[in-house]
Structure 1
């Protein structure tokens, strides 16, 4: 780095070059958002800004650049991820919420009755359950999480978002809610086959928790379990909604062949992404 204090625009050009050299798909976007986050200047203005960041901001930018070039997810670096109307704290030990999962929340909202009872299995950061509670104050919302690390992130987000009415329980799928019944159960469970690990982006493969990504039996083990076990936790005509891999739909429909209704819905890219069924 030059000893002369650099402007944001000059840092943008320099950082863009670093990201390009390291093979990032969108080097300009990476540089603009990184510098925007440490400076408070809009990412759209960064390429043209003559503002000179102070010493602390520059040191922070350089540290974030180093971590990002090493492949660490930017959400872990900055400590948060946007999800629908929420800003969720995230970090090592919990899955970073994806845009596809925002669509799952839309599907849940379409079937959750007024004043209905909802439960999320495997809540991770709490993204689905906390969004439901935030957007539907009338709903009774519960969630489970097996991983102690992820559970801690969900508890932090519940506290930070002042959504204490959401019941969080540590445990496997529905086991913490034995003898309870819900109108809707939903989950974004691990559905990637371990055989696919090498093909994943480095920021996913080397950083996000494997227990939140991979499942046995070609990624189907937990999805099959959810379909088999959900009827024990659902009210009559209750719904189960799952995020799934794009090739898993036919198998899951076969698993649910005794349900009164089951279908596969697509995501924003036209890929099969959601199992939707009612008992």
Structure 2
């Protein structure tokens, strides 16, 4: 069995790695160097990992995991990497749920949101879907411990119909980057993450509209739909939820630069699209 080599790397070698990463544009070169060294099994493997990082491959794809809400989330190459800002989505959803809640995570990616919610809330009935087979594989690995039920398919389509009108909390970190803005994303995203996880259509709202349009079929009375969006798109996202029978509220976290719109199920469509802002 190969042994990890982090105990055998001297400061000089570590310094060389840090310099190489920094030259390649890695902002957190010191932290990344330590992670690569700690994860490498051999010197040859370490050399290969550093070279991959220098060429632009995301750190999480190289080491195979990401830290999200204090959980080690397995991440395979090509899969959307959970972002720190999405921890705000978890926080907002956790506030609205209780142990035993039925929670559905749409566009689940690695399953990070569902896993984090199960850890924070306690025992929940967790369901998750994603259209990408590799993401589904990751999500199953990441939510197995929490009893997650992960399905491959488009949004609600693969969910069991027994969940109709029973879901307490729907969370959706659906793609919301406008198509024309994909080319402006950092190289790590646009080159190494699948476009289906990023592209939200012309205005970035296409998937959000589809999520909202069927929400009432699944939500329990007084159930909630939480959608991560951008600060710029927040009003439009709120309007979409209101047009589909949800009472929207915009929440924003300055520290994480994160925005979540929370829609509460109401008895009829709120055509006036009134919503409240909270910070």
What range describes the TM-score normalised by the shorter chain of this pair? 0.7 to 0.9
Q: CA deviation at 1:31?
A: 2.6
- Contact kept in structure 2, 1:265 and 1:274, CA below 8 Å: yes
Give TM-score scaled by structure 1 length: 0.84
* Structure 2 counterpart of 1:176: 158
SS of the equivalent of 1:206 reads helix
Is the counterpart of residue 64 in structure 1 residue 66 in structure 2?
no
CA–CA distance in structure 2, aligned partners of residues 32 and 24 of structure 1: 13
Over the residues paired in the alignment, what is the CA RMSD in angstroms?
Answer: 2.0
CA–CA distance in structure 1, aligned partners of residues 201 and 135 of structure 2: 20
Is the counterpart of residue 214 in structure 1 residue 199 in structure 2?
yes
* Structure 2 counterpart of 1:43: none
Change (3 A) 1:219 1:17: same
- Contact kept in structure 1, 2:84 and 2:256, CA below 8 Å: no
Q: CA deviation at 1:7?
A: 4.6
CA–CA distance in structure 1, aligned partners of residues 19 and 258 of structure 2: 37
Is the counterpart of residue 151 in structure 1 residue 153 in structure 2?
no
Q: CA deviation at 1:213?
A: 1.0
CA–CA distance in structure 1, aligned partners of residues 31 and 129 of structure 2: 36
Change (3 A) 1:11 1:225: same
- Equivalent position to 2:208, from 223, 227, 230: 223
SS of the equivalent of 1:175 reads coil
| Consecutive unaligned residues in structure 1, runs of 5 or more | 1-5, 39-55
Question: 1:194-213 counterparts in 2 under 5 A?
Answer: 194-213=179-198
Give TM-score scaled by structure 2 length: 0.84
CA–CA distance in structure 2, aligned partners of residues 158 and 114 of structure 1: 16
Q: Rg larger in 1 or in 2?
A: 1
Is the counterpart of residue 245 in structure 1 residue 230 in structure 2?
yes
* Structure 1 counterpart of 2:253: 267
